[in-house]
Amino acid sequence: MLKINYGLKLRQRTGFLESLFMLMGKSHLPVPDYRRLCRRQKSLPVDIGNRLARGENLSVGIDSTGLKVYGEGEWKARKHGYLKHFTWQKLQLCMDLDTQEILRAELTGNDEDDASVGTKILKGKTIHIDRFIADEAYDKFGFREILGSDILQIIPPLKNAVIQKVPERNLCPII
């Protein structure tokens, strides 16, 4: 709560709590130290789908962003060339568009396709979704099949998208 409301880092949170307890006259209460907060934060669950659990209809959006884990700064790389290998990870967020609540979050490597990770996130959880919005990275047949035809899918097509024709062997014979 302190992180969200006040934008405090872990060490700042411990100092804030110590000061708050002193002002309240409760300085005898223990404040978790930095190491304990780090360990507890690691074990917090990421899956927080409250409205899905209650069975309400949702408008859902999904997107991913890249996070640089290791590498040089962009300015240095442009100026002097790349000297070391870059490592990126992708953070996929699935959120309720009405309440801005994050329903699921998934951290993956940069080698995974957005649509395949989106498939893992939504697998078995599309029952109460009315409307789904995503960018063109999610315009894949397997992903659209997971959503189903009863969900309004607002996904722009890829730039090089081609309409697939049904092979003739799957057509019924015309008599």
Whole-angstrom CA distances from 89 to 76, 130, 139 are: 21, 30, 21
- Cα angle value 26/30/31 (rounded, 5°): 100
pLDDT band at 48 (very low <50, low <70, confident <90, very high): very low
Q: Where are the domains of the chain?
A: 2-42, 50-154
* Cα gap 97→2, rounded to integer Å: 24
Region 91-98: mean pLDDT is: 88
More confident residue, 44 or 8: 8
In sequence order, which residues have a C-beta less than 8 Å from that of residue 38 and are 6 or more positions away? Answer: 10
Whether the CB-CB separation of 130 and 56 falls below 8 Å is answered with no
Q: What confidence score (pLDDT) does residue 71 get?
A: 64
Pick the CATH number of 50-154 from 3.30.420, 3.30.70, 1.10.10, 3.30.1490: 3.30.420
Q: What confidence score (pLDDT) does residue 102 get?
A: 81
Question: Ranked by mean pLDDT, which of 43-52, 53-62, 83-92, 109-118 comes out on top?
Answer: 109-118
pLDDT tens-digit readout, 108-155: 888 888 888 888 888 877 777 889 999 988 888 888 888 888 889 888
* Cα gap 141→173, rounded to integer Å: 26
* Cα gap 52→58, rounded to integer Å: 8
* Cα gap 140→143, rounded to integer Å: 5
Q: What confidence score (pLDDT) does residue 28 get?
A: 85
